[in-house]
Structure 1
C-alpha cells in the first residue's frame, strides 16, 4: 500500500502555500476596498445604484466583486485616471498659487506698495519722477501723469530715470 504525501508534509511547500494564501487574501481585500471606493467615486451612478452595488458587494462578496469587475471594470480605470488628473491639477494650482505669492489676502495692498515706494524715495534710491511713475502704476493708471511725461521729455526732471542708470 502506497502512502500519499500532501504539500504540508514538506516544510518548504507548507511555507510556500501559507504565503500564497496570505497574499491572495491581501489581494482580495485590496480589490474589495478599491471597488467600494469606486462605487462612491462614480458620479454617474445614483444613490440607489450605489446602495445596490454596495449591498451586493458586502453581502455576497465573492460573487459581488466578480460581477462588478465584469460589469463595470472597464470604466473603473477611467474613473481612477480622472481622479488622479484632478488631484494633479489641484496640486499644480496650489503650487502656482503658493509660488506667485499666495492668495489675494497675502499679496501686498496698494497702501503697502505706496509705503515701500515712499521709503525708497526718502532713502534716495529712486527719484521723484520714478516715484510718480511707480505710484501711477500702483494706483491703476496705465500711463504716468501728463506732467511727469512732459518733465521727462524736456529733461527738467530731477533724476535720470531707472533705465539710464543701468
Structure 2
C-alpha cells in the first residue's frame, strides 16, 4: 500500500464486507428459524440474497424485521432457559456427586488429572 488513504480505504471496505457478511448470516439464520415460511419461499429469498445481495438484504431487513426480532429473542430465551436449568442441576449436586462425576470423566479420559484436581478443589470449597 502506497499511503494512508490506501490503507484507510482497505480498512473501510474490509469492515463493510465483514458487516455485510454478518447481516447475511443473520438473515440466513432467521430464514431457517422461521417455521411458518414455506421452503420454496426460503429458497427464493436465498437466491435473491446471492443474485441481488444488498437490495434483497435491505428489503428483508425492512419487511421481516419484527418477526426476525421475535425469533431471535425466542432463540435467546431457549438458550438462557437451558443454561439456567443446567446451572441449577449442577449447583444442586452435592460435592461428593460432583467429584464422582469428575472421577468418571477422568476414568474415561475426557479430562486430565490436573483438571480433575481443579474440579475436586472447587467442589470442596
Fold conserved between structures, TM > 0.5: yes
Equivalent residue, structure 1, for 2:28: 36
Over 4 Å off, 4+ runs: none
Shift of 1:100: 2.9
Counterparts of 1:17-32 in structure 2 under 5 Å? 17-32=9-24
Counterparts of 1:120-139 in structure 2 under 5 Å? none
Runs of 5+ consecutive residues of structure 1 not aligned to the other structure: 1-7, 103-166
| Count of equivalent residues | 94
Separation of aligned partners in 1, 2:39 and 2:93: 42
Shift of 1:84: 0.6
Match of 2:58 among 63, 66, 69: 66
| SS of residue paired to 1:43 | coil
Please identify which structure carries the higher helix content.
2
Runs of 5+ consecutive residues of structure 2 not aligned to the other structure: 95-125
Q: Which has the larger radius of gyration?
A: 1
Separation of aligned partners in 1, 2:93 and 2:37: 40
Task: Output one character per residue of 1:32-69: Cα deviation in whole Å (capped at 9) or x when no partner.
Answer: 11111111011222222222212221232222212111
Shift of 1:94: 1.6
Structure number with higher relative contact order (C-alpha < 8 Å, ≥ 6 residues apart)? 2
Normalised to the residue count of structure 2, the TM-score between the two structures is 0.65
Question: What is the root-mean-square deviation in Å for CA atoms of aligned residues?
Answer: 2.2
